[in-house]
């Protein structure tokens, strides 16, 4: 059972538990190899999932093991730095081998700041990931088909430019990029999901107080599907505030308008209020509350033309001692699959903790419960996950 302890180095990488448990992970500085700094990680987690495919009935429960090697290689200086990263994740289910998977991601980032007022960055990425059965295009009864999880390749290229010295009264940021999603298997179900997203955007920041900046942001995403008639142009117009990272309260709050216009006149366009916010409050240097919320349009999973999503998440991260850290988080979400009659109401809560055995090794444990209540009864589900982990990084 969970008592498998023949673990060399472990990392917790599991749905819903990744963020809180990895947040307090041992962060090593790596080692020098000539002009390079190399930071390897490796890990394994073991736990139990009560509803692997998110089914309303015929639930599949299984113990699951995940192994996740990774490495980061850096070269250069603060003003001219190149970083390459690899992260892998291998999942094996004891009672549901159909859901086994192997994910990989590669990323290359170049940062260049030739002058104090100018900074450039370019990111190139490739990933081979999967959609779990019960998610994305495999919800409800489709999750019970004896087919492996849908696998896809994701390729991305992004460039950013910043004008304005750190601490300057005004700052301008611009970005442009493209991301391609290409599914590799189960083509009868996934061929209509291949698409390319082209994005462009920018924001202007103006410091109105020592630790507060007002900002205006505009961005646009063009989604072009290979076969589907879901091609659209989505625009966002925001105003907001950015709270300095050195303040007790930090983060960004954006409020404005979102528009999603489909090329196909038979599809339903959307125009309405949108917001994005992520704020942290330091009760003490060792105790932080995090609040995030958003309202935005998202691509459809097969019901309707698009999803109008609202969500709210609250978390508490507390460091009880130099070795012991804990996290608690709760969240709710509402997804309207317009113009279909389907509306989903989801919620979750989780608790996790880590104990740092050495500067490079941590033990962790976490529990998470989630559920969804949908207007379509076959899409309802309850899920509970329990995981134990070790994590190491040089």
**Residue 162 phi, psi dihedral angles, 5° rounding:** -125, 130
- Radius of gyration for the chain, computed over Cα atoms and rounded to the nearest angstrom: 22
Q: Say what the pLDDT of residue 279 is.
A: 97
| Residue from 392, 393, 391, 394 nearest 46 by CA | 391
Classify domain 71-86+97-355+369-383 by CATH number.
2.40.170.20
Instruction: Provide the whole-model pTM.
Output: 0.88
Q: Say what the pLDDT of residue 247 is.
A: 80
Rounded-to-integer distance, Cα 251 and Cα 394, Å: 30
For residue 248, is it left (φ>0), alpha (ψ between -120 and 50) or beta?
alpha
Q: How do 306-319 and 70-76 pair as beta strands?
A: unpaired
Q: How do 36-49 and 70-76 pair as beta strands?
A: antiparallel
| Residues 10-46: b if buried by 16+ CB within 10 A, e if exposed | bbbbbbbbbebbbebbbebebeeeeeebebbbbbbbb
| Residues 69-103: b if buried by 16+ CB within 10 A, e if exposed | bbbbbbeeeeeeeebebebbbbbbbeebeebebeb
Residues 6+ apart with CB under 8 A from 255: 238, 239, 240, 273, 274, 275
Domain edges within the chain: 71-86+97-355+369-383
Q: Say what the pLDDT of residue 130 is.
A: 98
Q: Say what the pLDDT of residue 28 is.
A: 66
192 to each of 108, 223, 371, how far by Cα in Å?
29, 13, 28
What parts of the chain have a pLDDT lower than 50? Answer: 1-26
Q: Say what the pLDDT of residue 25 is.
A: 38
């Amino acid at each position: 059972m969970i008592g498998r302890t023949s673990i060399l180095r472990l990392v917790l990488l599991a749905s819903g538990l990744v963020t809180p448990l990895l947040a307090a992970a041992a962060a090593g500085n790596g080692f020098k190899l000539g002009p390079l700094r190399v930071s390897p990680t490796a890990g394994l987690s073991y736990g139990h999932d009560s509803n692997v495919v998110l089914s309303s009935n015929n639930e599949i429960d299984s113990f699951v093991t995940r192994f996740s090697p990774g490495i980061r290689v850096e070269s250069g200086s603060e003003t001219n730095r190149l970083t390459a990263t690899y992260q892998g994740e291998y999942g094996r289910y004891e009672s549901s081998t159909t859901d086994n998977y192997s994910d990989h991601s590669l990323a290359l980032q170049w940062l260049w700041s030739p002058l104090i007022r100018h900074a450039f960055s370019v990111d190139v990425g490739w990933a081979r990931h999967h959609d779990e059965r019960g998610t994305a295009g495999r919800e409800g009864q489709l999750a019970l088909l004896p087919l492996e999880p849908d696998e896809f390749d994701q390729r991305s290229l992004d460039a950013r430019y910043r004008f304005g010295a750190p601490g300057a009264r005004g700052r301008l940021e611009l970005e442009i990029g493209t991301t391609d999603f290409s599914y590799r298997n189960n083509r009868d179900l996934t061929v209509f999901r291949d698409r390319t997203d082209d994005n462009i955007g920018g924001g202007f920041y103006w410091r109105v107080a020592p630790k507060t900046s007002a900002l205006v942001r505009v961005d646009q995403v063009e989604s072009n599907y290979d076969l589907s008639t879901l091609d659209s142009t989505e625009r966002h117009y925001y105003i907001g505030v950015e709270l300095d990272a050195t303040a007790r309260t930090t983060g960004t709050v954006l409020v404005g308008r979102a528009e999603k216009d489909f090329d196909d006149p038979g599809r339903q366009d959307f125009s309405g209020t949108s917001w994005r916010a992520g704020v942290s409050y330091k009760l003490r240097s060792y105790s932080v509350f995090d609040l995030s919320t958003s309202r935005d349009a998202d691509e459809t999973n097969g019901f309707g033309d698009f999803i109008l999503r609202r969500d709210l998440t609250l978390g508490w991260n507390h460091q009880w001692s130099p070795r012991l850290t804990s996290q608690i988080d709760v969240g709710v979400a509402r997804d309207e699959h317009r113009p279909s009659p389907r509306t989903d109401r989801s919620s979750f809560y989780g608790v996790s903790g880590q104990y740092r055995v050495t500067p490079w090794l941590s033990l962790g444990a976490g529990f998470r419960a989630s559920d969804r209540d949908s207007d379509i009864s076959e899409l309802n589900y309850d899920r509970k996950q329990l995981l134990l982990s070790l994590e190491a990084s040089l």
